[in-house]
Structure 1
């Protein structure tokens, strides 16, 4: 370390001291000079240490903020449906996978992102270069592939799948690695690969203490069958997984993670029963999940995830009650879900996911009120949802599902305005919705869906007259 700057400061102080002392003896001046020099060195080193300590603290806090932001983006990415239309189980909770992906992201944030100066694209380039043999890995090759996969997942399921596929190949006996590869294969629509991965995960959990791997693999194997519309196979897979979770709960009945996973299996079973047309059995299964969700939400009212689970459970039951014709019961369920969504949105004012959930809750209430022949109340609910959606959707223009949902809300509100003879308001709403679909129609992958949507808007607009 260069101490020249310290000595220069000390010399300046000595000169000042000498002028002040005037004709003091040489020994006194020498002693004073030594003391001043020592004080300067110690003081300067202390100041430099404090500056570096502060800088390290700021850098650490910045790194922590970046890691949290990346993990939150990862959660949102995993919460998105695999396709544009959300009516698929593929977008449902992935048993334990989200936490594993987040751990990989955190590992990348603590290592490669630091080395790359916080630039994610550069971190991915460095990882690829080292994995290609250009530089020392300084760690597990499997871990590096998983870090690359987690960083890639924020932008591309395809790139993430390639990285996690390599990690799974390198660790064929790791059930978690098989699970993550299976989840991404499922999201990418590679159902055969997903099925093979989940079956390997189940086999690897064959030991007495492997119940966790078995029920998680079994649940997601059921998701594969649902994607194939093989509902009987899906129901068997979900019920097998449910029995595994219940066996674990007998040994550890107060385990909240197991309780939550049991509620997820109840919801999955309910989803399949809806697909099979057995609404009474589906409602019973959903209510089983609701009971667990209520217990967890009461246990920790500040746990946002458990509160959201409870809101979703109310919404699922509301959807079933609509199908059975119990509109009053459906409205009550949706309003309970709305109350929770309002609290979550208020406490997470800058979180787009919570705000969007609130918008959808208003929309569901509006749907039931419209079905009950209460257009004024329905329109009020739709308008509240639209006000939120209009704020959120432009902040994430690449989220086509949200863009389409906003357009659908415009359509529903526009039809009610038209029915109430409010032609100008109806036209304004319908034209806004049509403009969104017209933009989306340019996306070839979903052109058939967009054209169908455009036809609905054009039909409604023609009904208003010239």
Structure 2
């Protein structure tokens, strides 16, 4: 009986000891947990914490091939380019077949102004993965810096073709920007039309297409494109304004009125009320035009030059030339507009009409100061 009684406390002691022991964790499992933790911290923007976690992984598994690239991404997000460069150089040595490592190296070299090194790394990335849209975009950026527009357009277009849907339009707009700066409007039209036909129909791209259709005098087609762009950009009042302007030019006054009203639904702006007033005048409805003029005066911002010019012109048309001159004389006297010859000439002509000699002379003096070799004659 005794030995049996004595065994009971011994078993209890052993059980107690087993419960208090810390479970043994495999080092690889701990490293994996720290790597996941570091990745989560990086995605949350906790960059310093992410580095600490990755550093702990390195203490456990110093040869983990994922670490250099992971640390490099963190350094890139912190704008520590030199540190990022070292990490991705190591990553490329450890895993030379991973295209992203070369793509990141190309990006960093480009940011550091090392164009040749950047192009070499980016081409190596594309040799491994031809659809790396980030690498293609970077090559496009370098082409722009080297004044190689055709190559830039090609790379931005290829980048768009390989990019996720959300990135396609911004990349194509980079190509549009390059072509537009060169005045290559036919190429812009071809590029944007093809992209739209292939399903890239963002508000930005459709607006660019609409602009080129207007320039090419394809007005009915431009109306449809702008209308779609307006539907995709419900907070932009200018797109409905453009639709109304074209419809007015096409003689579709009722449609133009409706489109201008849509623009006002987005934002109440004086320039649209002016456009409505002109439509009413064309329809010989002076009362409606004067009502729109009142609304324009109530909503004028005072900072938009085009808006003020349009308003002054409408005031003059409706016989309120003195009021129009007050707007133009104030606008033309501002230092930022002193060299706007067209504005100064418009002001001078109106001042002459109302016999305001002082304002006329001041505007003409600014025309002379702006200087065009005496070609422009002030009234």
Question: Normalised by the size of structure 2, how large is the TM-score?
Answer: 0.48
Q: Whose radius of gyration is greater, 1 or 2?
A: 2
Q: Which has the higher contact order (CA 8 A, sep 6+)?
A: 1
